[in-house]
A and B are shown apart, each in its own frame.
Chain A
Amino acid sequence: MLKIDNLHASVENKAILKGLDLAVGAGEVHAIMGPNGSGKSTLGHVLAGRPGYTVTAGSAQLLGQDLLTLDTEERAHLGLFLAYQYPVEIPGVSNMEFLKASVDAVREHRNEPALDSVSFMKQAREACKAVNLDQAFLKRGVNEGFSGGEKKRNELMQMMLLAPKLCIMDETDSGLDIDALQVVADGINAMRSPDRSFILVTHYQRLLNFIKPDRVHVLSGGRIVKSGDHSLALELEERGYAWLEDVA
């Protein structure tokens, strides 16, 4: 699914990723944990092609295609989805209009027929229900005036409608109360499938009680410094990150 080799990236001339290697197989769930400033969010933004994030060395392939030479929208068409830690508010553009434009664009590139408005509305309403958002949110401006939790659930709703291949969840659990966390985790679990992979970027092992990862990685100083199974997350919860700096 995803293969990253020796990835180096900088933001405003400051090196953040310094030789990151990661391989995620189809259907797998990987958790990336690590201290603040270790480059966890940067990884997602670099893969999505955010302006200002420059790859200085290394490669990243999604489904065998070189991700780094594609435009941002082409990466989405290929099946990449980044759920933002801080989703952007877009007043004046309705959630519905935004979702339809996204779904149409992605389906078009998969050579799937465009959904008519009625079928689309039906799917959008179902997705709303699945993430426990009132349907009124479809008519509001994208994320406009949404609470933190509503924004996260709106990201999840987009992910459900776009049915991506690789989902990167950037601290989707932060700022969620326990009920909202359950809703988000249920949504993610429901989407797990043999041909869809997940990268969960998180600070806390709490999320991993709800979504059991296949692999857990620790990102520190711009590199993966330790990998293991779910028990690594529990160990980190207990011991913190400091002991790993010696490893790094």
Chain B
Amino acid sequence: MADENENEKMDNENQKPEKMFTLKKWNAVAMWSWDVECDTCAICRVQVMDACLRCQAESKKDSYGKQDCVVVWGECNHSFHYCCMSLWVKQNNRCPLCQQEWSIQRMGK
């Protein structure tokens, strides 16, 4: 690979001596984010993939030392901590973000 580049570079240099720049190093940077509609729980304002404020306060931990606080997605695609949402739906069974009737699409991490 390096040799090929070297040869190419020399060829190029022979053909175009006026060239001012050669590419010596190329760093690729990748960005990622959680593939969910809303990455922060709008109720407690903690990332949905982290434990909710209530669980953090009670420091509930399972055997792996990971906090057992799952995410819930509604039919509207909005996501919240299951703990946060279960308290809210007791008084109003609507999505706090879009006001649609709340029904669970899936749960998990």
A, B from the same assembly: no
Residues of A within 8 A of B (CB): none
